[in-house]
Chain A
Amino acid sequence: EDKVVQSPLSLVVHEGDTVTLNCSYEVTNFRSLLWYKQEKKAPTFLFMLTSSGIEKKSGRLSSILDKKELFSILNITATQTGDSAIYLCARGDSGNTPLVFGKGTRLSVIA
Chain B
Amino acid sequence: DVKVTQSSRYLVKRTGEKVFLECVQDMDHENMFWYRQDPGLGLRLIYFSYDVKMKEKGDIPEGYSVSREKKERFSLILESASTNQTSMYLCASSLNLGPYLFGPGTRLTVT
Summarize A's interface: helix, strand, loop or mixed.
strand
Question: How far is the CB of B22 from the nearest CB of chain A, in Å?
Answer: 15
Judge whether B41 and A103 touch: CB under 8 Å: yes
Task: Identify which of residues 4-47 in chain A touch chain B, using a CB-to-CB cut-off of 8 Å.
Answer: 31-32, 34, 36, 41-45
Residues of B in contact (CB 8 Å), total 23
User: Interface size class for chain A?
Assistant: 10 to 19
Q: For B58, list chain A residues within 8 Å (CB).
A: 98
Determine the residue in chain B with the shortest Cβ distance to A106.
B39
User: With an 8 A cutoff between CB atoms, is B2 at the interface?
Assistant: no
Judge whether B45 and A43 touch: CB under 8 Å: no
Determine the residue in chain A with the shortest Cβ distance to B31.
A96
Fill in one digit per residue for A98-110: 1 if any B CB lies within 8 Å of its CB, else 0. 1101111000000
Given A41-B104, A45-B100, A103-B40: 6 more A-B contacts, CB < 8 Å: A42-B90, A42-B105, A43-B90, A98-B33, A101-B43, A103-B41
Residues of B within 8 A of A (CB): 4, 31, 33, 35, 40-43, 45, 48, 50, 58, 90, 96-105
